[in-house]
């Protein structure tokens, strides 16, 4: 298959590029190689590459920054997917688009998970912009798959687990307070890329949820990760209201991979298994990166 990946410099984009390469012809474009908000540029790339499948991993993912930078946030997360959707329809390409748990308000009582057809009600500008992006795609073409995921971590860019490690190593004796009343599923980009690969051969359309199995709070996830890394830390659970952020986040971000299960296509595994593998496979690189950032600070 001839595949174009947008947002190829991000953590999921990179893992999709490396995992999909065997058996497919993959072109992964970074934001400087292809800006999805630039319709003319997207059209030129489509003409050059003639992709059968486009995987949109590009997004404005700085959730708190989106509250201030609304215009850019909507351009990347709403207008960009619309441009991709229209062009995919014109040339007959399939569009696989990545979306988020933040389209929900998280008011379901934990541990009840969100299903694909549950009503959306985003709390943040980021969530709103991603929802508009989903809607624009659904209105533009029929052959699309929206993959909603959550709480991503990988080697490709910054994420929660890397931040916790960096802060811990920066000041080993320091107590870190971590939110313990928001629940979700830490999801490894390498595993999600494998899931996307499994979906390439399917004819599923519409929305699917794809997160790791099981759930934790941010605090529980951080404790588990640092133990897996063999790094001692002083972590203390706290409530969201003790750690105010510009963007409101859902208290319940637990998604059920219901449609993947029904279609017998779910390749996701328990979050603990993947956090262990991530730590084991990348321990040295993660420590080096965290220490280098500490020196730069």
Ligand X SMILES: NC(=O)c1ccc[n+]([C@@H]2O[C@H](COP(=O)([O-])OP(=O)(O)OC[C@H]3O[C@@H](n4cnc5c(N)ncnc54)[C@H](OP(=O)(O)O)[C@@H]3O)[C@@H](O)[C@H]2O)c1
Tell me the catalytic residues: 126
Which token pair is 178? Answer: 């971590």
The interface with ligand X within residues 238-297 (CB under 6 A) comprises: none
Report if residue 37 touches ligand X, rule: CB under 6 A. Answer: yes
Q: Applying CB under 6 A, does 3 fall inside the site for ligand X?
A: no
Q: What are the DSSP calls for 140-175, one per residue?
A: H-SSEEEEEE-SEE-SSS--HHHHHHHHHHHSTT-E
The minimum distance between CB 232 and ligand X, in angstroms, equals 26
| Least distance to ligand X, CB of residue 173, Å | 29
Q: For ligand X, give the closer residue by CB, 71 or 264.
A: 71
122 binds ligand X (CB under 6 A): no
Burial of 27 (0-12, 13-18, 19+ CB in 10 A): middle
36 forms part of the interface with ligand X (CB under 6 A): yes
Rounded Cα gap, residues 256 and 259, in angstroms = 8
Q: Which two tokens stand for residue 56?
A: 């949109």
Site for ligand X, residues 134 to 173, rule: CB under 6 A: 149-152, 156-157
Q: Which is nearer to ligand X, 37 or 257 (CB)?
A: 37
Q: Which pair of tokens denotes residue 262? A: 């029904």
Nearer to ligand X, 104 or 233 (CB): 104
The least CB distance from residue 231 to ligand X, in Å, is 22
Please enumerate in sequence order all residues whose Cβ is within 8 A of that of 195, keeping only pairs 6 or more positions apart, or say none: 147, 210, 260, 266, 267, 268
Q: How far apart are CA 103 and CA 59, in angstroms?
A: 14
- Contact between 9 and ligand X per CB under 6 A: yes
Which tokens sit at 141? 């073409």
In whole angstroms, give the CA distance from residue 250 to residue 151: 12
Taking CB under 6 A as the rule, does residue 98 contact ligand X? yes
| 3, 66, 80, 190: which one binds ligand X (CB under 6 A) | 80
Distance, C-alpha 50 to centroid of its chain: 26
Query: Which two tokens mark 110?
Result: 């934990």
Site for ligand X contains 66 (CB under 6 A): no
Stretch that binds ligand X, among 1-9, 112-120, 196-204, 287-295 (CB under 6 A): 1-9
- Using CB under 6 A as the binding rule, whether residue 60 contacts ligand X is answered as yes
Q: Which of 78, 79, 93, 100 binds ligand X (CB under 6 A)?
A: 100
Q: Least distance from C-beta 153 to ligand X, angstroms?
A: 7
7 binds ligand X per the rule CB under 6 A: yes
**By CB under 6 A, residue 55 contacts ligand X:** no
**CB under 8 Å to 182, separation ≥6 — which residues?**
106, 217, 218, 240, 249, 250, 251, 252, 253
Residue nearest to ligand X (CB): 10
Nearer to ligand X, 30 or 227 (CB): 30
Using DSSP bridges, classify how beta strands 94-100 and 144-149 pair: parallel, antiparallel or unpaired.
Answer: parallel
- Residues at the site binding ligand X, with contacts judged by CB under 6 A: 6-7, 9-13, 31, 34-37, 57-61, 76, 80, 98, 100-101, 130, 149-152, 156-157
């Amino acid at each position: 298959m001839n595949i174009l990946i947008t947002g190829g410099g991000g953590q999921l984009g990179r893992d999709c590029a490396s995992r999909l390469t065997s058996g497919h012809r993959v072109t992964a474009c970074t934001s400087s190689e292809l800006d999805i908000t630039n319709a003319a540029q997207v059209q030129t790339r489509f003409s050059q590459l003639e992709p059968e499948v486009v995987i949109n991993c590009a997004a404005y993912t700085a959730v708190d920054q989106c509250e201030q930078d609304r215009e850019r946030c909507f351009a990347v997360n709403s207008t960009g997917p619309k441009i991709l959707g229209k062009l995919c329809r014109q040339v007959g390409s399939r569009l696989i688009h990545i979306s988020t748990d933040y389209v929900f308000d998280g008011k379901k009582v934990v541990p009840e998970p969100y299903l694909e057809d549950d009503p959306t009600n985003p709390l943040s500008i980021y969530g709103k912009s991603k929802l508009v992006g989903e809607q624009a795609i659904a209105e533009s073409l029929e052959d699309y798959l929206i993959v909603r995921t959550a709480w991503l971590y990988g080697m490709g860019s910054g994420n929660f687990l890397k931040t916790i490690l960096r802060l811990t190593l920066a000041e080993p004796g320091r107590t870190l307070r971590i939110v313990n009343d928001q629940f979700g599923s830490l999801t490894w980009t390498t595993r999600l890329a494998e899931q996307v690969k499994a979906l390439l051969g399917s004819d599923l359309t519409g929305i699917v949820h794809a997160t790791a199995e099981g759930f934790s709070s941010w605090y529980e996830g951080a404790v588990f990760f640092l133990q897996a890394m063999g790094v001692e830390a002083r972590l203390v659970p706290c409530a969201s209201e003790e750690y105010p952020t510009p963007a409101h986040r859902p208290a319940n971000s637990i998604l059920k991979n219901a449609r993947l299960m029904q279609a017998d296509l779910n390749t996701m595994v328990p979050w603990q298994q993947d956090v262990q593998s991530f730590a084991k496979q990348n321990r040295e690189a993660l420590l080096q990166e965290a220490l280098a950032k500490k020196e730069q600070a």
